Amino acid sequence: MKKKVNKLIANLMFFFDVVLALLIILWAQILTESSFGNFSMFFGFAMLFITTFLKILRTW
């Protein structure tokens, strides 16, 4: 039972991390004229890459 709950929480955290990274990327595209927008876009892509990479490692 506890493993099932932990797996559900891990999947929810992964989903919300991906949604947050995509929102950062989308909002950063609006601000691409500034250095903050460029850094935000880089941060969003890095966050998306790290969360998906960790999810793949966890299932492997």
What are the E-state strand segments in 1-60?
Answer: none
Question: What pTM was computed for the model?
Answer: 0.70
Domain extents in the chain? 2-59
The overall average pLDDT reported for the chain is 84
Residue range 35-45: mean pLDDT, rounded = 84
pLDDT at 45 over 80: yes
Write down the pLDDT at residue 26.
83
DSSP 15-26: HHHHHHHHHHHH
Helix, strand, coil shares of the chain, percent, nearest 5, are 90, 0, 10
